[in-house]
Chain A
Amino acid sequence: TQLLEQSPQFLSIQEGENLTVYCNSSSVFSSLQWYRQEPGEGPVLLVTVVTGGEVKKLKRLTFQFGDARKDSSLHITAAQPGDTGLYLCAGAEAGGTSYGKLTFGQGTILTVHP
């Protein structure tokens, strides 16, 4: 069973600060995704990273996939209250027969105070 360790579990910061969320595993993933979930709603896909070392930017959010495709990070620059939510990383298994199976990290609850 593949596991994803996500840290930190909770993050409470002031508006304008920067932050980084980490997602680590001992397993290799074919791709890794980041989702954001708001209260009362389902997770919404932010980005998919596929290639080892890949970096993707989405406005103030920067996503990186580790060279060995075992880890990923999400960096938010100048956080805003609208960034508040639950952030989830999810890895797709490399090879195997688990069609479309995603393993999720435990999530990071981010609160950005005005």
Chain B
Amino acid sequence: DTAVSQTPKYLVTQMGNDKSIKCEQNLGHDTMYWYKQDSKKFLKIMFSYNNKELIINETVPNRFSPKSPDKAHLNLHINSLELGDSAVYFCASSLFNEQFFGPGTRLTVL
């Protein structure tokens, strides 16, 4: 009965490839997020969706495209992967401001 789940846990790929990360929450929350955590552990918001509608889009290259098919799912597709995209990506959901995070996807671009 995992609250926020992400797949895959690890993703190793070559530069220039396209990859997707999936996220699902069973908490009934209206809002979902994607965060990027760099090698120095700094956590930065990328996107936020509320009831399938994009509400926060930080300064993120347009190679990153989120998609929310329903309010329980928020996927992240990344085109033309670059070395600098290597990081841990976290999905989260919230009812108010308190956020519940998934276990993260460690992306390594070679």
Residues of A within 8 A of B (CB): 30-31, 33, 37, 40-45, 48, 86, 88, 92, 98-102, 104, 106-107, 109
Contacts and interface: CB of A to CB of B under 8 A. Distances in A.
B97 A41 contact: no
Interface stretch (B14-22, B35-43, B67-75, B78-86): B35-43
Contact of B97 (A42, A102, A107): A102
Contacts of A102: 45, 97, 99
A33 B4 CA distance: 19
Given A42-B92, A99-B50, A100-B31, A107 B41 contact: yes
15 contacts: A31-B97, A42-B4, A42-B90, A42-B102, A43-B99, A44-B101, A45-B99, A48-B97, A99-B55, A100-B31, A100-B56, A100-B94, A104-B44, A106-B41, A107-B41
Nearest to B43: A104
Nearest to B44: A104
B98 A45 contact: yes
Interface of B: 4, 31, 33, 40-45, 48, 50, 55-56, 90, 92, 94, 96-104
Contacts of B98: 33, 45, 48
A40 B103 contact: yes
Contacts of A40: 103-104
Contacts of A99: 31, 48, 50, 55-56
> Which of A40, A43, A100, A104 gathers most chain B CB within 10 Å?
A100
Given A42-B90, A100-B33, 13 more contacts: A42-B4, A42-B92, A43-B90, A43-B99, A48-B97, A48-B98, A100-B31, A100-B94, A101-B45, A101-B48, A104-B43, A106-B41, A109-B41
Contacts of B101: 42-44
Nearest to B41: A107
A107 B48 contact: no
B62 to A, nearest CB: 20
